[in-house]
A = this chain, B = another copy of it.
């Protein structure tokens, strides 16, 4: 993975949920396809500029739906663990993305095509997050129904008026196990869709002999994107979200978008509590981690601006080393 062997710059783009679900957050198949078709056009523009594109994406609503199916069919067919659900969402989203991206690339006269890889992300079997599950997944249920699952070993939390919700471990991604395969595909000229939902969490816990095996957890997709960009020696990491820039003093008269920033400035804003924990926080964390680990350039912006954000410094919130 020597960058000097590459003729083209390489970018890792992390797509947010808005690129894959309907305006109402619906993960119904037609809503997903329509959203993905829209996103594909913007991504094809990046490829058209001669850039190697590696795409990753979230999967929250999709995993939630699969957990409900598991639950409602449990008396008839065996439920599958959470890591299997993550795998399932990788395939449906990758398959839709490859179809739509291939069409968008062809529409621009490009010969490049797309490949979707089933991707595993290494986590530490001793990660403290396994002892303190905190990531909410799936639907809200009344207390008495939640207790049925608690009896099976799951962790559920009282979320007030909406009811109870399952929480699962969200361990730190250590490396993307399949990064060498992603590199091989990107270097062969493919737009690569990979590490969906942060990757299928695997660990070497020794339970079934030596080797990596799936573990029940979900990984933050933006943190995995930072690891992926590092493992692939990407020139730029782009976190695509639903706003063109990171905002500070949001909701006050002093609200302003961040353009070019230094790591020190961004860290200061983060320390001041400027970024919400469940939304912009992990994205800011991801770009900082990438730069801290040797990355040169990271951008947070909206889908509409990703092509401009890759080619120049005038779009999005741009962090450089």
Contacts and interface: CB of A to CB of B under 8 A. Distances in A.
Contacts of A193: 118
Interface residues of A, number: 59
A119 to B, nearest CB: 8
A5 to B, nearest CB: 13
A103 B212 contact: yes
A83 B78 CA distance: 21
Contacts of A102: 211-212
Interface in A59-95: 65, 68-73, 76-78, 80-81, 83-84, 87-88, 90-92, 94-95
A309 B190 CA distance: 34
A145 to B, nearest CB: 13
A68 B74 CA distance: 10
A209 interface: yes
B73 A68 contact: yes
The 6 closest A-B pairs by CB, nearest first: A103-B211, A116-B118, A91-B91, A115-B181, A184-B188, A87-B91
Given A87-B94, A103-B209, 7 more contacts: A84-B92, A91-B118, A98-B118, A98-B178, A99-B214, A113-B180, A118-B193
